[in-house]
Amino acid sequence: MIITNEKELEGMRSISEAVALTLKKMHEYVRPGMSTKELDDYGGQLLNEFGAKSAPYLVYKFPGHTCISLNNEICHGIPSDKRIIQEGDLLNIDVSAELNGYWSDNGSSIIVSQDIHKKQDLVDSSRAILKKAINTIKGGVKINEIGSLIEKEAKRNGYKVIKNLGGHGVGGGLHEQPDGILNYRDKFDQRRFRKNAVVAIETFITTDSSLALETADGFTMIGDKGGFAVQHEHTIVVTDGQPIILTEQNGIWD
């Protein structure tokens, strides 16, 4: 979406508040011993209170309100009453939804309770990389420059990036152009960010893998070489200066 008037900006602010606060409250709600379905049901309740509808369900008939992934899962994990969250799990929640014709997307990874597997640095690196990437984006900046930044920062911290997943345009739908805002520099990609464009910027940072592979359930993605994976995501509006971070209320950087 390209924002052309105040009504569109307000529409994007409303749906972005819904997904951001849903994500934040889900992270505050989670505890060891809880199933991922119980956590997802809570997320669905929150979205319903905002009057918002789950984007994964609307677009893909995804069997859940939100995507909940654990440890080696990169994204799109299906909530299940058989999947019990454990102390020290690396938990990723991705919340996207629609409200009054506007769509927004955000996600965040956290450690559940105590960091017994010593993965807090992985989480912190992803959060910091997303912040640096977003603060570099403005109208006219080449999309692949952001991919280059993300990959270089990941390597500098001793990590890898997933190369076949990335950010995307959002607003009038869940996935719009520009699609494929990747976590590495694609030298053939000559596109540039446009002023007033709404985009979801995502980091996919891992300990071992560089590619995401779809599992037999048709949704969950895991790394080609195993290891742990984290994701962080904000929906923003590109400007001539600092972007407007529409999902800032999710508290990723708090």
> Looking at residue 4, what is its pLDDT?
97
187 lies in a domain?
yes
> Looking at residue 203, what is its pLDDT?
98
204 lies in a domain?
yes
254 lies in a domain?
no
Which residue in 87, 51, 91 sits closest to 69, CA to CA? 91
Q: Is 65 annotated as a binding residue?
A: no
Residue 24 belongs to what domain range?
A: 6-249
SS (H, E, C) the chain: CECCCHHHHHHHHHHHHHHHHHHHHHHHHCCCCCEHHHHHHHHHHHHHHHCCEEHHHHHHCCCCCCEEEECCEEECCCCCCCCECCCCCEEEEEEEEEECCEEEEEEEEEECCCCCCCCHHHHHHHHHHHHHHHHHCCCCCEHHHHHHHHHHHHHHCCCEECCCCEEEECCCCCCEEEEEEECCCCCCCCCECCCCEEEEEEEEEECCCCCEEECCCCCCEEECCCCCEEEEEEEEECCCCCCEECCHHHCCCC
Neighbouring CB atoms inside 10 A of 150's CB total 29
pLDDT in tens, 131-154: 999 999 999 999 999 999 999 999
158 lies in a domain?
yes
CB 138 within 8 A of CB 241: yes
| CA–CA dist 249, 251 (Å, integer) | 5
87 lies in a domain?
yes
Q: In what order do the strands lie in the sheet with 212-214?
A: 73-75, 221-223, 212-214
Task: Report the number of distinct structural domains present in the chain.
Answer: 1
Instruction: Give the mean model confidence (pLDDT) for residues 235-252.
Output: 97
Q: Is 105 annotated as a binding residue?
A: yes
Q: Is 202 annotated as a binding residue?
A: yes
Q: Is 27 annotated as a binding residue?
A: no
pLDDT > 90 fraction of the chain, expressed in percent and rounded: 100
pLDDT > 70 fraction of the chain, expressed in percent and rounded: 100
| CA–CA dist 238, 134 (Å, integer) | 9
Q: Is 234 annotated as a binding residue?
A: no
pLDDT in tens, 57-85: 999 999 999 999 999 999 999 999 999 99
Mean pLDDT over all residues of the chain?
Answer: 97
1 lies in a domain?
no
- State if pTM tops 0.85: yes
pLDDT in tens, 184-243: 999 999 999 999 999 999 999 999 999 999 999 999 999 999 999 999 999 999 999 999
67 lies in a domain?
yes
> Looking at residue 59, what is its pLDDT?
97
CATH code (residue 150): 3.90.230.10
Q: Helix axis angle, 143-156 relative to 120-136, nearest 10°?
A: 150
> Looking at residue 76, what is its pLDDT?
97
